[in-house]
Structure 1
């Protein structure tokens, strides 16, 4: 069951976000330590500033995907897919596809035309998933993330959703 989280869901958000950062530390720009130090007010701000969707399996949060809309008026038609995570034992279970569908529907209803994202070049499964879902690679940032002293490239991708053949 997918649900968009609200301010009353701060504990669910904290649980799944910290799980993601701890279990896949090389996949995110933030570290678990960055988020563990945040006061509750900042957790609430981050949850409400962005649309955050969580997929629940057997009543427990197992996957998450967020949407961060551009703030500048001339870029308000763009949004970035953020905080993507699926628990290892639930991968391949359709959670990412279901979350992406929910994010796309939400984005469209808000007038978003372009979805953007960045992912680790060391995550070929995610790259294949996004290509299947209609995203295309638009660039790379060499050494975009430094994890444990090692540079990891970011793959930049985008997908139009205003006249999208892969919708549905």
Structure 2
């Protein structure tokens, strides 16, 4: 069947929960949230999180193997901007182009919503992610000193952005 990427809907809570918790448990240093933050959510809260912002998931034979969400700015004068959230692909799929395909699906969707700029925050210590975003045309727009606390250590967040319309 191969790999398929699609926008999740209300019936996809189980797939969402599965890949989101896998991401938080496997790559705890990559996310602001911890697995503990999410593990105790009720089904209603999972559904609310899923439907609050568009979430795209890559499936390999119906098994979720990657995820990327899009959080649009709510204020009317900033609604042309959106932030990439929850980005994760399984380690064994890295270097296969899966993350690029997820980003392309999210970007296409964002353009259709009238979004002009994608933004993100990446841990300054996550050089793999930073290189990926640079290759995909994101530029550095800033740095949040001590943006995230991990095991008592403050780690900077790098802010990046990419224009998706001219």
Is the pair's TM-score, using the shorter chain for normalization, greater than 0.5?
yes
State the distance in 2 between where 1:123 and 1:93 align: 19
Aligned position for 2:7: 4
2:103 to 96, 100, 103: 100
Kindly indicate whether residue 118 of structure 2 is the aligned counterpart of residue 77 of structure 1.
no
Kindly indicate whether residue 128 of structure 2 is the aligned counterpart of residue 113 of structure 1.
no
1:152 to 128, 148, 155: 155
Aligned position for 1:44: 47
Aligned position for 1:129: 132
Kindly indicate whether residue 93 of structure 2 is the aligned counterpart of residue 62 of structure 1.
no
State the distance in 2 between where 1:123 and 1:17 align: 19
2:29 to 26, 31, 41: 26
1:118 Cα shift? 0.3
State the distance in 2 between where 1:61 and 1:39 align: 21
Deviations 1:96-139 (A, max 9, x none): 10000000000000000011000111111111111111110001
SS at match of 1:125: helix
1:90 Cα shift? 1.1
TM (normalized to structure 1)? 0.95
Q: What RMSD in Å do the two structures reach over aligned CA positions?
A: 0.8
1:64 Cα shift? 0.5
1:155 Cα shift? 0.5
TM (normalized to structure 2)? 0.96
Q: Runs (4+) of structure 1 moved beyond 4 Å? A: none
1:157 Cα shift? 0.3
> Any stretches of 5+ residues in structure 2 without a counterpart?
none
> Any stretches of 5+ residues in structure 1 without a counterpart?
164-168
